[in-house]
A and B are shown apart, each in its own frame.
Chain A
C-alpha cells in the first residue's frame, strides 16, 4: 500500500503564511488522487477543509487554499489565526488499488 508523507510539525506566526505538503511514495501527486485536507482539534472529529485538490466547503475559512505544488498536494494557510492550531491530514485516492490513504498528519503550531 502506498505511503503518504507530510511534515510532522510546522510552526507559523500569527498572521503569517505556511504551506503544508503531501507527497506519495508512488510518484507525483496529481488531481487524479483527489487530494483532501482535514483539520482535527483535540477531542474532536476531523473536519474537511479541502476536497478534490482545491475545492472548499462552505465552512472552510478563505485563508485556507489547496493546490498542487512541485509534485505534491499543498495546503496553504495565509494569515494564520490562533484557532488554526491543530493537526492537519491529507488524504489521497489510489485508483489502481481502489484504496485511499491518509498521510501521517502535520501538527501546526501558531506561535
Chain B
C-alpha cells in the first residue's frame, strides 16, 4: 500500500523556520519526482516546489523562491521542505505528492505562521 505521511507542521512566528518531512512507503521513492503543494484555509491549491528523482534538480514557485528549500533522502524514503523567513501568507496545509501522474498524495500537515 502506498503511503505518504507529512509531519513537522505547527505554529511558528513570522520570520521563523520549520522543516516539513514526507515519509514515503509502498513504491520505489528514488524513481520519482516529488512535489510540495499547499492550500491556505478556504483557498485553492498552490504548487510550491518539485525535486527530481536523484535530488539534482529543484524548482520553486516565485512566492517561495529563496526562502524554501526542497530536498530528499532516498536512503530514508523521505522528502523535506525547509521553510525559512516564514510569513503569515505561508499559513496553509502542506501536501507532498508523487510526481509523474500525481497518483498519490499525503493527507497534509498544517503550518500556521502567527505571532
A36 to B102, CA, bound (A): 9
A45-B95, A45-B107 are known contacts. Are A105 and B45 too (CB-CB below 8 A)?
Answer: yes
Interface size class of B (residues with CB under 8 A): 10 to 19
A71 to B51, CA, bound (A): 29
Query: For the complex, would chain A's binding face be called helix, strand, loop or mixed by DSSP majority?
Result: strand
- How many residues of chain A are within 8 Å of chain B by beta carbon? 22
Between B44, B101, B106, B108, the greatest number of chain A beta carbons within 10 A of the residue's beta carbon is seen for: B44
Residues of A within 8 Å of B102, CB to CB, are 36, 38, 48, 51, 91
Chain B residues packing against A (C-beta within 8 Å)? 35, 37, 44-47, 50, 59-62, 95, 101-103, 105-108
Q: Which A1-56 residues sit within 8 Å CB-CB of chain B?
A: 1, 36, 38, 40, 45-48, 51, 55
The residue from A40, A46, A100, A102 contacting B50, defined by CB atoms under 8 A apart: A100
Question: With an 8 A cutoff between CB atoms, is A104 at the interface?
Answer: yes
Q: Which A52-111 residues sit within 8 Å CB-CB of chain B?
A: 55, 57, 87, 89, 91, 98-105
Chain A residues packing against B (C-beta within 8 Å)? 1, 36, 38, 40, 45-48, 51, 55, 57, 87, 89, 91, 98-105
Interchain CB contact under 8 A, A102 and B46: yes
Residues of B within 8 Å of A100, CB to CB, are 35, 47, 50, 59
- Closest 10 A-B residue pairs measured CB to CB? A105-B44, A48-B102, A45-B105, A98-B59, A100-B47, A102-B45, A1-B62, A51-B101, A89-B45, A104-B44
